[in-house]
Amino acid sequence: MTDLKNQWLFVKRPDPQADSSCFRLVETALEPLVDGHIRVRLHYLSVDPYMRGRLDDVRSYAPPQPLGQVMEGGGVGEVVESRHPKFKVGDKVLGYFGWQTIADSDGRGVRRVDDSIVRLPAYLGAVGMPGVTAWYGINKVIEPREGETIVVSAASGAVGSVAGQLAKAKGCRVIGIAGGPDKCRMVTEGYSFDDCIDYRAPDFAEQLRAATPDRIDGLFENVGGRILDQSLSRMNALGRIAVCGLISGYSGESIPINNFRSILINRLKVQGFIISEQPGIWAEALAELAEGVATQRIRYHESIAEGIESTPEAFFGLLSGRNIGKQIVRVIRDGNI
């Protein structure tokens, strides 16, 4: 191992757009490991939509990302040195290690993972935070019944693709919404949704209506804006909406919603949630997701960017919808898979 690590510092808040000038890559010397800590060599980093919200210095569910510090985020890697009683060298671990090649941690929030069952990067996606988000929204908010119509926005993404497959397994008619024909094909052919609508199509509203002849009983909402608004107008009586991300609002612009009235007219339940606040369900959700992925009942797809240098670019690509599936950064080019 080298005596240096690479780190992406967050150096400038978006004004208002986030761009590459917000981050700076630095080389930092490794210090001796503190007692009670582990040192992790990162194999894969996660970039996720929620990170955009944290770049702004505004009140939100998480404190803003501090300026001048390593950009925070989830990752998986291997313990290369341990002065912590619960971890040993060679352990594969998942944690919020930040955008860097090597991370020291006191072990809080670090989870040991088994890469003989599920590939390591999948712990950042279908068997990680995005998968658990999908699991909670479907099972604890929407609670779909057989035969109901469930609509999932950002359907080709890490969260949406799992949400739709979980609803499908419950006997629902599942309609995805995604951006562009390639993503839509992935949603119907790869993830077996019943249909997928391109939100860029000029007749999007018309297509959504045609694809939901019995209206919408459950909406898994990842996007917000116009897509949410159209879906609201198609809701059935007593419908449920899980709101776990509003990508179209992550860049700070306001999202005017015209069909709020549907909440009254259709007696909807709308529930916003952040999966990190639901620690009680992680074990059950992860077990189910790992089994689904291992048996290929749950499919997933990754967009992998190569090298720590590519992290901001991968993140911006995610925000503008250029990725398909879970966006991952491979830190070690000569990886172990």
Q: Is 27 in the site for its own copies (CB under 8 A)?
A: no
At its nearest, how many Å lie between its own copies and the CB of residue 218?
15
Q: Which residues contact 309 (CB under 8 A, 6 or more apart)?
A: 6, 25
Q: Is 254 in the site for its own copies (CB under 8 A)?
A: yes
At its nearest, how many Å lie between its own copies and the CB of residue 35?
36
Residues 267 to 306 in contact with its own copies, rule: CB under 8 A? 267-274, 277
Q: Contact, 128 vs 122, CB < 8 A?
A: yes
Cis peptide leading into residue 16 (ω within 30°): yes
In this chain, which of 47, 246, 285, 289 binds its own copies, going by CB under 8 A? 246
State the helix-helix crossing angle for 282-294 and 129-136, rounded to 10 degrees: 110
Q: Which of 165, 170, 193 is nearest to 178 (CA)?
A: 193
| Of 252 and 307, CB closest to its own copies | 252
Q: Is 16 in the site for its own copies (CB under 8 A)?
A: no
Q: Which helix (H) or strand (E) is 25 found in, with range?
A: strand 23-29
| Of 45 and 216, CB closest to its own copies | 216
If DSSP codes are grouped into helix, strand and coil, which group holds residue 22? helix
Q: Is 318 in the site for its own copies (CB under 8 A)?
A: no
β-strand pairing of 111-112 with 4-10: unpaired
Q: Contact, 143 vs 219, CB < 8 A?
A: no
| Of 48 and 91, CB closest to its own copies | 48
Piece in contact with its own copies (CB under 8 A), picked from 99-107, 169-177, 244-252, 294-302? 244-252
Mark 59-98 with x for binding to its own copies (rule: CB under 8 A) and - for no binding.
Answer: xxx-------------------------------------
| Of 45 and 244, CB closest to its own copies | 244
| Of 113 and 159, CB closest to its own copies | 159
| Of 109 and 260, CB closest to its own copies | 260
At its nearest, how many Å lie between its own copies and the CB of residue 20?
26
Bridge partners (DSSP) listed for residue 6? 27
Q: Which residues contact 296 (CB under 8 A, 6 or more apart)?
A: none
CA 220 to CA 150: how far, in whole Å? 8
Q: Which of 119, 162, 130 is nearest to 49 (CA)?
A: 130
- Please count the residues of this chain forming the interface with its own copies, following the rule CB under 8 A: 33
Contact residues: its own copies, CB under 8 A: 53, 59-61, 224, 228, 237, 243-246, 249, 254-261, 263-274, 277
